[in-house]
Amino acid sequence: MSKKPVVLVTRKLPEAVEDRLRRDYDARLNPDDRLYTSDEVIERASGADAILPCHTERFSAQVIERLPDSVRAIANFSVGFDHVDLEAAKARGLVVTNTPDVLSDATAELTMLLILGAARRASEGERLVRSREWRDWSPSFMVGTQVTGKRLGIIGLGRVGQVTARRARCFEMTIHYHDVRRLPPEHEAGALFHETVEDLLPHCEFLAIHCVATPETHHLLNAERIALLPDGAIVVNAARGSIVDDEALIAALKSGKLTAAGLDAYNDEPNIHPGYRELPNTFLMPHIGSATRETRDAMGFRALDNLDAIFAGREPRDRVV
């Protein structure tokens, strides 16, 4: 009987995914779901053939250099791969994969929750009910922003962005977008293309961020670009925190330039900028865009499909390096 490949799993995964891991691999699981330090990842990877991490583990060039020689692949349990230094992985000869497609619906649902929650002051309202400070009904009480019929700008009309656009059209929203290149008409589905972010922003009563985190998109939404948005616009981010300049966004929320923000991704998670917590016009979620049972199972199975291909000598479906 051939020896099963050893796979280090850095976080606790859904039960069905761990069952498959135990069946097909010599799996080193993390039943307590403890966040490993980089040193612990390196130590626990001793003799492992592959690592199955989440975006919570960072594989810098220094970490990749220190990984045991036995490690052949990093099969991410995430669609994002900005936590892995791809150049260092390539130089080391590591295969790196991700889990696209399967979380588009769940993340688009969460984006609509952010849009609605921010626009209709959901955080404020829930606090009032829970604290028993809600007194009565009044025409001037808790007045928010209507979503139906507004213009939604999307930065990054990829898999998630396209599903978000479809959901938003159910609210009769007009879709504007910017991407690195214009999409074919069948993918645009009537969305209006803008060649630059600067061209897009003046049209955005709502702005949804769905682009990839790269050095080029770091702090893409900064003070200069926020100034281009219509007064009273609402910004939501279910992508990566690094795309937003926190200080600039908080200043715009304080000044009234922006009505509200809905956020599910932050810089330095979970130690987010304290200014977000202090503002009444922020609707904050703890990075749960993909957190449905169906999606988390599908992400795990997709990561394992990639590992299966690697150890069978085939090209993995979702190779990024």
> How confident is the model over 107-140, as pLDDT tens digits?
999 999 999 999 999 999 999 999 999 999 999 9
Q: Which fold has domain 6-102+293-311?
A: Rossmann fold (3.40.50)
The pLDDT assigned to 88 comes to 98
Does 287 qualify as catalytic in the annotation?
A: yes
Residues 200-219 pLDDT 10s: 999 999 999 999 999 999 99
Active site residue 240: yes
Q: What local confidence, expressed as pLDDT, does residue 158 receive? A: 97
> What integer is the mean pLDDT of 162-189?
98
Mean pLDDT of the residues in the chain: 97
- pLDDT for position 195: 98
The band of 74, judged by pLDDT with boundaries at 50, 70 and 90, is very high
Which residue among the candidates 20, 120, 287, 302 is catalytic per the annotation? 287
The answer to whether the beta carbons of residues 300 and 307 sit under 8 Å apart is no
- Quick check: is 218 catalytic? no
Distance (Å, whole) CA 291 – CA 285: 11
Break the chain into its structural domains and give their ranges: 6-102+293-311, 104-284
Superfamily of domain 104-284: NAD(P)-binding Rossmann-like Domain (3.40.50.720)
Q: Which entry of 83, 203, 240, 302 is annotated as an active-site residue? A: 240
Q: Do domains 6-102+293-311 and 104-284 have the same CATH topology?
A: yes
- Note the pLDDT of residue 2: 65
Mean pLDDT of 255-264: 98
Confidence band (pLDDT; 50, 70, 90) for 44?
very high
Candidates 269, 278, 293, 314; catalytic one? 269
**What pLDDT score was predicted for residue 78?**
97
Residues 6+ away with beta carbon under 8 Å from 59: 53, 74, 83, 84, 85, 88, 89
